[in-house]
């Protein structure tokens, strides 16, 4: 059962519900905070125009215009769709100090943000492909 918090747009599901909805890799990344291997993700080399949504709840996260090749092995963006689409959480695991990025609607783990991005923002949102669902930009009312 998909329960929603009446005070917000927050999506709350049981772990069993997430397991039924997501592939094993998507579940591992978004719910258990694991990371896919670098240079292997579906969207790492994607250069199509469109929007990247949360794979768990379809919340718009990043647009293709902000994607760039950082050379890190994961899709990289220099800014989210808007500040409300993601949440930043201090992450001190693995002996490192980092900022974890999660979806603001379902708390899916997306990746991390680093301060070594392009000059426009100085930020690099390093995101797992497994946490994303890409929707191509429509041209004349039809998907490309």
Please give the pLDDT value at position 8: 61
Q: How far apart are CA 61 and CA 81, in angstroms?
A: 5
Task: Read off the pLDDT band of 143 (50, 70, 90).
Answer: low
> Which CATH code of 3.30.360.10, 2.170.150.20, 3.30.1330.10, 2.30.30.790 fits the domain covering 11-135?
2.170.150.20
pTM assigned to the model: 0.88
pLDDT at 9 over 90: no
Question: Model confidence over 102-124: pLDDT tens digits?
Answer: 999 999 999 999 999 999 899 99
- Please give the pLDDT value at position 137: 86
Whether the pLDDT of residue 6 is over 70: the answer is: no
Q: Would you say 127 and 75 are in contact if contact means Cβ atoms under 8 Å apart? A: yes
- Provide DSSP, 17-28: HHHHHS-HHHHH
CA distance 139 to 64: 15
Could you give the CA distance from residue 132 to residue 94 in angstroms, rounded to a whole number?
24
User: Per-residue pLDDT tens for 49-65?
Assistant: 999 999 999 999 999 99
Q: Confidence band (pLDDT; 50, 70, 90) for 4?
A: very low
> What residues contact residue 91 under an 8 Å CB cut-off, 6+ apart?
97, 98, 99, 100, 112
Q: Which residues are catalytic?
A: 126
Instruction: Please name every residue paired with 51 in a beta bridge, in sequence order, or none if there are none.
Output: 63, 135
- Residue 132 per-residue DSSP state: E
How far, in Å, CA of 135 to CA of 143, rounded?
Answer: 8
Q: Which of 136, 133, 131 is nearest to 112 (CA)?
A: 131
**Residue 25 pLDDT > 90, yes or no?**
yes
Contact 73, 126 (CB under 8 A): no
27 versus 1: the higher-pLDDT residue is: 27
């Amino acid at each position: 059962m998909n329960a929603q918090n009446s005070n917000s747009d927050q999506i709350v599901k049981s772990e069993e519900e997430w397991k039924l909805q997501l592939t094993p890799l998507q579940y591992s990344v978004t719910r258990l905070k694991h990371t896919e291997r670098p240079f292997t993700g579906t969207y790492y080399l994607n250069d199509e125009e469109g929007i990247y949504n949360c794979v768990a709840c379809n919340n718009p996260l990043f647009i293709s215009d902000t994607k760039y090749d950082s050379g890190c092995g994961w899709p990289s963006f220099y800014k989210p769709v808007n500040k409300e689409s993601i949440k930043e959480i201090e992450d001190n695991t693995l002996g490192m100090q980092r900022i974890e990025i999660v979806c603001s609607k379902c708390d899916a783990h997306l990746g991390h943000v680093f301060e070594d991005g392009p000059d426009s923002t100085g930020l690099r949102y390093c995101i797992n492909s497994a946490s994303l669902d890409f929707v191509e930009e429509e041209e004349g009312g039809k998907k490309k």
